Structure 1
Amino acid sequence: MQTADLVVESFGPGGLERSGLDFETLRARRPEVSLLSISPWGLEGPWAERPSTEFTLQAELGGPAYRGLPERGPVAAAGRVGEWAAGAFAAVAALAAWRGARTSGRGDHVDLSIFESMITCMTTYHDLFGQWFGVPLAQALELPSIEPAKDGWVGLCTYTGQQWKDLCALMGRPDVGDDARYLDGSARMREIETIQPIIHAWTRAHTIDEIVELANLMRIPVAPIGDGRNVLDFDHFRAREVFVDHPDGFKAPRIPYRVQGMATAPFRPAPRLGADTQAVEAELPTAHDATRAATPPTSIAAPFEGVRIVDLTAFWAGPVATFALASLGADVVKVESIQRPDGMRFSGALPGPTLWEWSPVFHGANAGKRGITLNLDAEEGKALLRRLLEDADVVIENFSVRVMENFGLGWDVLHAINPRLISVRMPAWGLDGPWRDRTGFAPNVEQASGLAWITGYADMPLILRGVCDPVGGMHTVFTLGLALEERERTGQGMLVEVPLVEPALNMAAEQVIEWTAYGVQLGRTVNRGPSASPQGIFKARPAKAETRYLLEDLSVAVATDAQWQALARVMGRDDWARDPGLAHEAGRRAREDEIEAAIAGWVAGRDCVEVVDALLAAGVPAASLVNGHMIHPNAQLTARGFFRELEHAVAGNARYPMLPFRFASRPAAWNAFAPPALGQHNDEVLGGELGLSEAERAGLREKKVIGEAPAFSIG
C-alpha cells in the first residue's frame, strides 16, 4: 500500500481496524493514499452493523412497495441492481478522492453507503414527493409499458401527453387520446380495466417488429424486450459491436463509454487466487523507498473545483450527472429555454400557478446548479451560448443525436469555438447505429437491455423504474474525469459519448454471460434471488407500534447457513435446524415452496415490526416494506446527514438528498444549494459574467430569448 493511490475495501464497520490497517495508519506511510470504504449502511450510524442484503435494502427504501399490481403483491428489482448502482457511485467517489489528493497532496477517507446509493437510484426522490404531496405512492403499472405482442413482449413508454395521444392515434383510438381523463399516467392506472384492453387489443394484433417500426415513425418511445439470448442479435448492438469476446470464454458488453483519442484496455481474465502474488511482490518498494515522509496540507480542494460546465441536459440521466459534479465542486450553469424548459419540471409536479417549480425529480437532480434560459432557436440565444462555451471546460447534453447539429453546434463547431472544450454526449442509444435517431427514455433502456426481462411476475415482466438514469449519470461523471485528465496531458478538448443503454447492458451482463458460457437463459423468479434462500416478501399483521405509516409487508433473505439456523430458532422450527437436507443453500432451494409457505404462515399472525426486530436481533437480514414517500424520518439517514435542508426561491424549504458518500475531511457537499428556478440566474450570468447591460437583458426578455416563466400556457 506504500505505492497505492487508492485502497478500496468492503469489510464493514471496524473491519480494517481489526487488521491494523485503519486510515490513519495507511496515511502515515503514504499521505497521498485515499481509502474508499463500501458498506451496506455506511461505517457510522445506529444501523451500521444491521444485517442486510441488497434485497432487504430495497424493502427498506420503498422500491418493491410501488412496483407491480396490488392484487399480486410487491416485486423487488432483480439482478442485484442496487449493488451495480453502488458500484457506479463508488467509481465516482474513487475518482473524486484521487482528484482531490492529486491537487492537495493529501488523501481522504470516503465512506459510501450502498443503501443511500440505492435511494438515489431506485426511488425517484420519493421523499420530496412525500414532503409536498403527503400521500402514499400507489403500487401500480405504467400504461403502456411492457405489453404482449403477437410474437412476444414489446416495450412502450408515453411520458408526455403528446406521446399518449400519438399512441392512441396509432392504435386507431384517437377518441381515447382526446379524452382528458387519460392524459396522465396515474389516471390511466386508475382506469386500468378500461385502458389495458384497448392497448392489448392493438399490440396482440401486431408483431414486435411491426410495433417498433410504427411507433418509431410517430416518435413514440419503443423497444423490443431484451434477454440474455436475443439481445446479442439486436441489429443496433451488433452494428455498434457492443458485445465482445471475454478471455474467460463468454460474450460480455464492452466498456460503456467512448472518449475521442483514448483507447480502452482489453478485458483480462478474472484473477486466479494467488496467481499474481510473485509479480506484485517484485514491484514492492524497498524499505528505503518506503520511509519517505510528507507533511500534508490541512485543506483538501473540491475534486472538480475550477471546472466550469455548461449543462444542456434534461429529464434525469444528464441532470443527475451534473448534480454530482456540482456537489463535488464544479460550477454548473444549467441552460433551459422558456419555449422548452427541462421536461422534468412538469413530471409529477404539484399543481398550481407555478407548477414548473414543483417537480420533485427536477429538484432532486438539479441542486447545486445555477440556471439560465436561452432560446437556442434564436440567433441571439445561440450567440450567447457560444460566448458561454468560450470560457467553459465542459458542455454536457442528452438530446436526441440530431439536435445539436440542428442548432448548428456539432462537434467541429464546438471545437472551433473552444479547442479545450470537452463535449459530453449522452444519447439513449448512442451516436451511431440503426437506433441512433430513436426516442428513448430509461424505461425503454430497461426494456431493451434485459433488466426488465428478469424483473416481475412469472408471466409479466416489469420495468425497474429509474435505476438506469442515475447509473448512466455516474458513468458519465467517471468518464468526464478521464477526459479531463487526458486534456491535462494534451491540452485539447475531445468528444465523449456515454449512451444510456450501455451502462444498462453492463448491469444486465449476467444474462448474456450465462447464455454464452452455459446456454442458460435467466428468467423471472419474482422475489427469489441467486444469493439467498429462502428470500421473499411476506404479509404480516399490521404493526401496532406507533410508526410513520402502516407496516404489514416484510422482506427476509437468508444469505448464509448460519442465518438459516438463526431463522429456524426464531420460528421455533427445531426440525429445520436439525434437518441436514436444509443445512446448505442447495438443499433449501430444492424445497423453497415448502419453506416459503411455512414462513408465510408463521408471519401472517404476527406484528410486522416485532417480527423484523426479532429476526434482526438474531442476525437474519429482514426489513419492513416501507413506502418510499415516507422514508424520512430514518435514524440511519439522519445520523449520516444524507438529507440536507435547502431553500428554493419558489418552493421554499425542503429536504434534499445528497451524494451517498462522505469525505472524512468534509462530510457535506461543496455546492449545497437549492436547484434553480427557471431563469433564476439570468442576470447573474448574462449580466454579471457576460457583461450584458440591463437594457440588453430587457430586450432579450421582450423577444423571449430569455425569461423566467414558460412561454406557453399551463393547464
Structure 2
Amino acid sequence: MAEEVELSGVLSHLRVVEIGSSAATSYCTRLFADFGADVQKVESPAGDPLRSSAPLTPSGQSPWFAFLNFNKSSVIVDANDPEAVTRLTSLVEDSDILIDGRDIASAECPSIDVAAICRRRPKLIYLSTSWFAHDGPYAGFIATDSTVRALAGLIKLAGPTEGPPVHAPDFQTGILSGLWGFIAAISSVLAIMQGGAGRRWSLSTFESSLTASEYLMSESVAHSDVIRRMGINRFWPGFPLGIYETKDGWLGVTTVTPGQWWAFCDMLGLSQLRDDPSLVFGKDRLLYAQRLEGQFMPRLRNRTAREWFAEGVKRKIPLVPVPTMSDLINDIEKRERGAIVPVRFGKEEGLTAGSMQRLTLTPPNRGGRVPNLGEQCGVASKRRRLTHAGSAVEMRIKTGLQPLCGTRVIDFSMGWAGPLCTRTLADLGAEVIKIEAVQYPDWWRGVDRSPAYVQSQMYEKTPRFCIMNRNKSGITIDLTRPRGCALAKGLVAKADIVVDNYSVDVLPRFGLGYDVLKSLNPRLVMVSMSAFGTNSINRDCRAYGSTLEQASGYPGVVGGPDGPPVMSHTAFGDPVGGLNACAAVLTAMVHARSTGQGQFIDLAQVECMIPFAAPWITLQSIGGAEPKRYGNRHPQFVPHGCFRCAGEDNWIVIAVTDPDMWHRLALVIGRPEWATDVSLNTAEARRGIENEIETVISAWTFSRDADEAMLELQAVEVAAGVARMPIDLLNDRQLKSREFLQQTERAFIGVHLQPSMPIRQDARPFPVRTPAPTLGQHNGEILSRILNLSDADIAQLVKENIIGTSMLSEGGGD
C-alpha cells in the first residue's frame, strides 16, 4: 500500500466513492480526482471489467482504463465476504459523493441500501447512471457505446452515400455522460455550501448523447428533406466542411459565412466560383459539392497542410491541419498546457489526455498513476466534511430549489458551445443574462444580414437559437461604444460568472478583459472558450465546432485503414466544449464560494476533443506505431458493425460483447452450429471468420424491418440499436415516455419542442421555465432592476442604438 499523503486541490476536501463499472461514472469521478478529491474506486477481486477494455498496450493493459482512473485509489470489496455489505456501507457513509454505475455493469458489487444511507447522511450527494433510465420501452435494453450512439442519431449521417454509415470507435457516450454526471454532482456541492441538503440524481447515457444531436433534431423540422447522409466528410448545412488531402498531410476546411467562402476561393485562385451568386451560402454550395470539389481539391494538393493553415490565418478562414497521434504527442504546446499528460500504470509509462478544465488559479493535476487492484494511491488521511460556507455565503438555498439559484451569469457567447454552457447553468437555476447587439446578434440567429432577412425578422425564427437559449434573459448592448461598455461592466460587477466564446482578443479590445473585470469584482469566475487557448501560438486561427474536431486528431482513428480521416456529421466540438466549460466554471465556483476569490479559466475547445483519442495517444506514446483503424469493426467485440435492414437506407448496429451473447446471436440468425462450436467462444477466434459472420448477419437483417430486428435481438439480450436519423428522435418511444421533449411556446415560432437535460432529481425532467428571449427582450427589466437606470436613460440608449430590439441589416440600417 502506498504511503498516505495529503492531497491538494480545489476539491481535496471531498471524498467520492465509485461503485459498479461504467465509462460514464469512471470519467465523472476522474474529473473529481483531477482537482484533488479523494476518489475511492470499489472493485471486486476480479477488478473492474474496464481494466481489459481494448485496445491494449504491449503488456496487455487498457489505456482507456488508465485514462479514466489515474489519481484514484482502488478498494477491493468481495461480494462473497459476509462483511461486504457492512464494509461498503461504512465506506459510503464516510463519503460526500456516491457515483453509481451498477445499472450499466454491477461488476460484482454488493447490494447496499442507498436510500437508508441517504436518510442517515442527508448531505450525501448520490448519482446513479444507466444506459436508458429505469422506465420506458428501452429500460431493459442491452447496450454498448455504439448501439446507444446509433439510437441517439449520431451514426446514420456519417459515411458514404450508399452506406453503410461509418461510426467512430467507442468512448463517446462515456465522456459525454461523465461530464453531465460531474455537472450534476458539483452543482450539488455548491448547493450544500449555500445551506442545502444532498441531492439524488439519475443520469441517462442515451439522453446524454442527445447533447450532440439536439441541434439537428430541431433543424430537421424545417429541413428534413435535405438532411441526409451525403458522403465522407460532407454534411448539411455547410460546404466545404470536411477534410481534404494536401501535398503533405490532411487539411480541415470549414466555410460558414459568405466572406469565408469568398476568401477560400481567392486563396485558391477560383474567382469564377467566388463571383457566382448561386454559391454564396453553404446550403446552396452543397447542391454542387462534387463539381466544386473537382475544382478546388487539385489545387489543395499543390501545398502542404501547414502552408494552407498559415494562409487561412492570414485570410481569416477556418483551416487547420489534421494531426496524427504522433503529431499530438510531439506537440510541445499541448504538453505545456496539460492537455496531454504523463500517466503510469503498472510497469508502463505513457501519455494520455489531461484535464481540459484549465483553471488558472487552482489548476488540475497534471497526469498521475493508475492504481493497481486494491491499491491506495495518495489518499488524504485528514479532510474536512463537506459543509456550507458560513459567513462567506450571502444567501441560503432551501432544499428542493434548483442547485444554482442565486447565481448570476453574464453570457457573452454565441453559436453552440458557449450558449450550451450557459443554458445548462440556467437550467440548473442560475440567472443568465445573454448579451447581444442589434448590429451583431448571435450568429445562430442566422448569418444573412440582407434587408429582406432582417425586415422579415427571420433572425427570430431559427429553431437552433431557441433550443440553445431557453431559461435566459436577453439584452442588447453595443460593446464598441463607451456607454455600452460601461453598462456591461456594471452588470459584471454584480455577477458571479462570465462566459465568453469570442475570439481571444475581442473582449480585451473592448476593455472587458479579465484583468479589468476582476478589479471590479474580485470574486468573479470568468471562462474564455477560445478555440486554441488565450496564449496559444494558434490563437488567431478562426474555428467552429468542426474545426475543433479536425484539429483534435480524433478523425484520424475513425474509418477504414485506407480512407481519409472521417468527421462526425455534427459540429461535435461545440457540445463537448460547452459541457467542459460548464464543469470548469462550477469547479471554480466551489473555490470562489469558499474563499471569495474568483479566477480565470483558459479553456481551449480543441483540447476538449482530445479525450476521445486518449487510448490511441497512449498506444502511440508507448509502442510508437500508428493506431489501427477498424472501420465499423471493434478491437474487442466480434461481430460488431452496422448492417442493412429492409427498406431504403435502414441500418442497425449490432455488438456482441461476450461468449453467451454470441451463442444467443448465433441461434437467432439461424446458425446453431456456431453456438455449439467451442472454438468460436473467443472474439479473436471469431475474427478469423468475421467476413462470413457479417455476411450471415447482413442476410438476416436485410429481410427485416430495423425496429423489428432490434426488438428480436434485444428479446434474447443481444446489444442492438437502430441507426436513427435526428428527425426520428422527435417521435422516439423512449423519449416520449420520459417526456424528454418539452413543448414550449415562443413569439415568432409558436409551440416548439425543447430537449431536456439528461440529469434528473425525480421522474420528471427539469422544466423549461421560459423560452429563448427575442432580441433585446429584457433590456428595460434588466437595466432598471440591476443598474437602476430610469426610463429616460433607457430611451436615450435606444435612440443612440446602444440597445434595441431590432436587428440592423448590413450597412447599419433597419
> Shared fold (TM-score greater than 0.5)?
yes
CA distance in 1, matches of 2:784, 2:377: 60
Q: Could you tell me which residue of structure 2 aligns to residue 275 of structure 1?
A: 375
User: Match for 2:334 among 237, 251, 255?
Assistant: 237
Q: CA deviation at 1:71?
A: 2.7
> How big is the alpha-carbon RMSD for the aligned residues of Structure 1 and Structure 2?
2.8
Residue from 40, 55, 61 that aligns with 2:152: 61
**Aligned partner of 2:581 among 450, 454, 476:** 476
Per the TM alignment, residue 304 of structure 1 is displaced from its structure 2 partner at its CA by 1.2
Q: 1:453 aligns to what SS in structure 2?
A: helix
Match of 1:511 in 2: 616
Runs of 4+ in 1 over 4 A off after TM superposition: 13-20, 277-280, 282-285, 347-352
Q: 1:269 corresponds to which letter in structure 2?
A: R
Contact 1:551 1:608 in 2 (8 A): no
With over 3 angstroms needed to count, the CA separation of the structure-2 counterparts of 1:477 and 1:598, relative to structure 1, is same
Query: Conserved in 2, the CA contact under 8 Å of 1:79 and 1:508?
Result: no
**8 Å Cα contact 2:507/2:513 also seen in 1:** yes
Are 1:215 and 1:222, in contact at CA under 8 Å, matched by a contact in 2? yes
Residue 672 of structure 1 corresponds to 769
Match of 2:566 in 1: 462
What secondary structure sits across from 1:64 in the alignment?
Answer: coil
Q: Which residue of 2 aligns with 1:261?
A: 361
The equivalent of 2:100 in structure 1 is 9
Q: Which amino acid aligns with 1:519?
A: G
What's the secondary structure of 1:596's corresponding residue?
Answer: helix
> Which residue, 190, 215, 222 being the options, matches 1:125?
215
Q: Tell me, what secondary structure is at the counterpart of 2:355? A: coil
Q: 1:649 to 1:576 in 2, by over 3 A?
A: same
**Which amino acid is 1:495 matched to?**
F
Identify which of 39, 50, 55 aligns with 2:130.
39
**Paired letter, 2:608:** P
Residue 259 of structure 1 deviates from its aligned partner by 2.0
The aligned residue for residue 598 of structure 2 is 493
Q: Deviations over 1:383-403 (max 9, x none)?
A: 111111121111110111111
Q: 2:674 aligns with which of 576, 601, 608?
A: 576
For 1:299 and 1:178, the matched residues in 2 are separated by 62
**How far apart are residue 147 of structure 1 and its match?**
0.4
Amino acid in the other structure paired with 2:614: A
Question: Which residue identity lines up with residue 292 of structure 2 in the other structure?
Answer: I
Residue aligned with 2:642, SS: strand
1:73-84 aligned within 5 A:
73-84=164-175
Aligned amino acid, residue 310 of structure 1 = I
TM-score (normalised: structure 2)? 0.81
In the other structure, the counterpart of 1:153 is: 250
* Structure 2 residue 627 is the aligned partner of structure 1 residue 529: no
Matching residue of 1:433: 536
Q: Residues 699 and 417 from structure 1, CA distance in 2 versus in 1: closer, same or farther, beyond 3 angstroms?
A: same
Q: Distance in 1 between matches of 2:362 and 2:694?
A: 51
Q: Residues 99-110 of structure 1: matches in 2 within 5 Å?
A: 99-110=190-201
Match of 1:559 in 2: 657
Aligned counterpart for 1:138 among listed residues 228, 236, 249: 228
1:492-538 CA distance string (max 9 Å, x none): 22211211012211222111101112233224322122342211111
Deviates further, 371-380 or 525-534: 525-534
> Residues 551 and 221 of structure 1: is their aligned pair in 2 closer, same or farther, counting only changes over 3 Å?
closer
- 2:714 matched to 1:616? yes
The alpha-carbon deviation at position 243 of structure 1 amounts to: 2.4
Secondary structure of 2:150's match?
helix
Find the aligned partners of 1:18 and 1:448 in 2 and give their Cα distance. 40
Residue 490 (structure 2) pairs with residue 384 (structure 1):
no
Structure 1 residue matching 2:290: 3-state secondary structure = helix
Cα offset, 1:182, TM superposition: 2.0
Give the partner amino acid of 2:666: A
The CA distance in 2 between the partners of 1:643 and 1:608, in whole Å, is 23
Give 1:133 deviation, angstroms: 4.1
1:566 offset after TM fit, Å?
0.9
Give the fraction of aligned pairs with identical amino acids, expressed as a percent.
29
> Does the 8 Å contact 1:62/1:628 carry over to 2?
yes
Q: Structure 1 length normalisation: TM-score?
A: 0.91
> C-alpha deviations, 1:665-704, integer Å up to 9, x for none?
x844266321111111112112343233333323222221
Shift of 1:589: 2.5
Aligned with residue 247 of structure 1, among 344, 361, 369: 344
* C-alpha distance in structure 2 between counterparts of 1:663 and 1:531, whole Å: 35
Report which stretch shifted further, 459-468 or 329-338.
459-468
Equivalent-residue separation in structure 1 for 2:276 and 2:534 (angstroms): 37
- Say how many residue pairs are matched: 694
| Distance apart, 1:18 and its partner CA | 9.7
Deviation string 1:589-635 (CA, Å, 9 cap, x unpaired) is 23322211221123223333322221111111112222112212222
Structure 1 CA distance, aligned partners of 2:527 and 2:589? Answer: 11
| TM-aligned CA distance change 1:247 to 1:19, over 3 Å | closer
Aligned equivalents of 1:344, 1:357: Cα separation in 2:
10
Tell me whether 1:656 sits opposite 2:754 in the alignment: yes
- How many Å separate the matches in 2 of 1:694 and 1:284? 53
Contact 1:302/1:328 (<8 A) preserved: yes
**Structure 1 CA distance for aligned equivalents of residues 595 and 323 of structure 2:** 40
Which among 742, 746, 754 is matched to residue 644 of structure 1? 742
Question: Is 2:676 aligned against 1:585?
Answer: no
The residue correspondences of 1:73-472 to structure 2 (distance < 5 A) are 73-121=164-212, 123-135=213-225, 137-140=227-230, 141-142=234-235, 143-144=239-240, 145-234=242-331, 236-237=333-334, 240=337, 242-248=339-345, 249-276=349-376, 299-346=399-446, 353-457=456-560, 458-464=562-568, 465-472=570-577
Distance in 1 of aligned mates of 2:594 and 2:723: 50
Which of structures 1 and 2 has the larger relative contact order (alpha carbons within 8 angstroms, sep 6+)?
A: 1
**Mind listing any 5+ residue stretches in structure 2 that lack a counterpart?**
1-91, 385-396
Corresponding residue for residue 709 of structure 1: 806
Contact 2:102 2:109 in 1 (8 A): no
In the alignment, the residues of structure 1 paired with residue 787 and residue 734 of structure 2 have an alpha-carbon distance, to the nearest angstrom, of 45
Does 2:790 align with 1:685? no
Question: C-alpha distance in 2, partners of 1:283/1:418?
Answer: 33
SS in 2 for 1:586: helix
Separation in structure 2 between the aligned mates of residue 616 and residue 540 of structure 1, nearest angstrom: 16
1:459 is paired with a residue of what secondary structure?
coil
- Partners in 2 of 1:361 and 1:698 — Cα distance? 31
Pick which of 478-487 and 305-314 moved more.
478-487
| Aligned twin of 1:289 | none
Shift in CA distance, 16/532, structure 1 to aligned 2, threshold 3 Å: closer
Larger displacement relative to structure 2 (450-459 or 188-197): 450-459
Question: What is aligned with 1:49?
Answer: 140
CA distance in 2, matches of 1:279, 1:232: 30
| Paired AA for residue 672 in structure 1 | R
Matches of 1:20 and 1:238, distance apart in 2? 42
Structure 1 residue 39: Cα displacement: 1.1
> Hey, what's the Cα distance between the residues in 2 that align with 1:221 and 1:705?
30
Of stretches 675-684 and 65-74 in structure 1, the one that deviates more from structure 2 is: 65-74
- The letter for the 2-side match of 1:330 is A
Question: 2: CA distance between counterparts of 1:501 and 1:533?
Answer: 33
Do the aligned partners of residues 639 and 605 (structure 1) sit closer, same or farther apart at CA in structure 2, a change above 3 Å counting? closer
Question: Over residues 453-497 of structure 1, what are the superposed CA-to-partner deviations in whole Å (9 max), with x where a residue is unaligned?
Answer: 122354122222233222222221121122112122322222112
Q: Gaps spanning 5+ residues in structure 1: where? A: 286-296, 543-549
CA distance in 2, matches of 1:627, 1:636: 15
